[in-house]
Each structure stands twice: as C-alpha cells, then as structure tokens.
Structure 1
Amino acid sequence: MKRNLLHALAIIWLVLLSATVHAQGEGFTPVRNAIRGGSSKELAQYFGSTVELSFDGDKQSYSATQAEFVMKDFFAKNSPAGFDFVHYGGSTEGTPYAVGKYVSKSGAYRMFVKMKSAQGNLVIDTIDFTKE
C-alpha cells in the first residue's frame, strides 16, 4: 500500500514538473520562431522599452528601436542556419530565461534570453550571444 502511494506521488510530481517546464517554454515560442527566421522586426515585438544586448561580452543597453536595428545587422552578418532553446529556467523571483544554441554559417553561438514582466506581459530584457 505504501509503495503504491509513493509511486502515485512520484508520478504526480513528474507530471507537475513537466507541465511547469512546458509552460516556461511556451512563453519563448514566438521568440524562438523570430530568431529561427532571422527576423529582427518580429523579434522586436517582444522587446521591452530597453533591451540589453551582449555580443561576446560587449554589453550595451538599447531602446527597443535601436535593438531592432542591432539585431537586424547581426542577422545580416550571421544568418541563422539553425536555432533552438536547450534549457528553460526561472530565477527565485520568477524571472524566466532560456539558453539556446544559435548556428550560422560563420559559427555557433550560445544564446541567453531573459524576460521580464512589463505591464502584465513578458518582454525581452536581455539577449546575450557568446561565440563557441
């Protein structure tokens, strides 16, 4: 009896855990699609009023409009050959983030995207590219 109860609790815990991970990933789906398509215009729809962009440690804050142009330039020089998020997580404060792998003809990048809540919506706060 105890063993069956433990198995049932373990199954319930795994179902809840997978639902949480799936829910975290859903918020990043349109962001993933924009990055896969190399569309700075589509990606900019999810920018906050300011966005921190980092390329190999060179960090700068931009307005949403400026960040769109910076990403347009990046995609032009490094058009996507493949992209996917490989890990989703959240800080203790509930700030969601995702880690992905961006592949272009000129090389591969580890990509970190952090979201934040603004006026009840999740928006992109930070994008960090690190060449592998």
Structure 2
Amino acid sequence: MEDVVNAIKTNRIEDLSRYFDNIVPITINNNQTIYSRNQAEVVLKDFFDRNVPKDLLIMDNGSPNASTKFIIGTLLTPSGVKYNIYILMKQKNMDFYLQEIRLNKE
C-alpha cells in the first residue's frame, strides 16, 4: 500500500497502474465507471493532472482479512480543494491489485 500512496503523492500514475487489475472501477464525484487497465490510467492521469496532489493524508487503513487492504484519506491540492479518497486492494494469486478507487470532493 505504501507504493500506491507514494505513486499518488508524487503524481506518478504510471507507477500506480502497475497495481491495476484487468478492470478498474473508478468513482469521481460519485460517478462510477468501470475501465480497462489502459483507460483507467488515462482517466486517473487526467484527474491528477487537473488536481495535482499536494499531500495525501491517511485517516484509516487496514486489512479486514488476509486478502484485502484499504486506505481512507484526504487528498489535498494546491488550490485548496480536498478530495476524500478510498482505495481497495485485493489479493489475486500472490499479488495485490487495485480493485476500486473513489475520489469525491469534500
């Protein structure tokens, strides 16, 4: 999860995309769409280019079971806009993959 957080903090979506599964549900301001790996990378790159991360404050994280991890936090932008962020990762084979990401303006 540390790599995922660092990829977002440094706006390196290509690093984040290494954790994408074949399909990636993305919710932005309560509008959810399911994307392919490549589409998800383009959508998130566009989002983070328009909302450059200034910081990502982790409010909660955990592993409800051995095959699932999550992060809940606040994404801060230089313009002062804040987004609530939720990331869910699930284990598939031996690796964890991003199963969902939500970004909703506070």
Question: Fold match, TM over 0.5?
Answer: yes
TM-score (norm. length: structure 1): 0.74
TM-score (norm 2): 0.91
User: Which of 119, 122, 125 in structure 1 is aligned with 2:93?
Assistant: 119
Candidates 49, 70, 77, aligned match of 1:104: 77
Matched with 1:73 is: 46
2:22 paired with 1:49: yes
- Seq. identity, %: 29
Q: 1:45 to 1:92 in 2, by over 3 A?
A: closer
Q: Distance in 2 between matches of 1:122 and 1:92?
A: 13
Letter in 1 for 2:19: Y
Q: Return the structure number with greater helix share.
A: 1
1:85 corresponds to which residue?
A: 58
Return the structure number with greater strand share: 2
Counterpart-to-counterpart distance in 1, 2:66 and 2:92: 14
Partner Cα distance (1:114, 1:29) in 2:
13
Residue equivalent to 2:35: 62
Partner of 1:10: none
Based on CA coordinates, which of the two structures has the bigger radius of gyration?
1
Displacement of 1:93: 7.5
Q: Contact conserved, 1:32 with 1:84, CA < 8 A, in 2?
A: no
Q: Which runs of 5+ in 1 are unaligned?
A: 1-27
Contact 2:67 2:91 in 1 (8 A): no
What residue number does 2:103 align with?
129
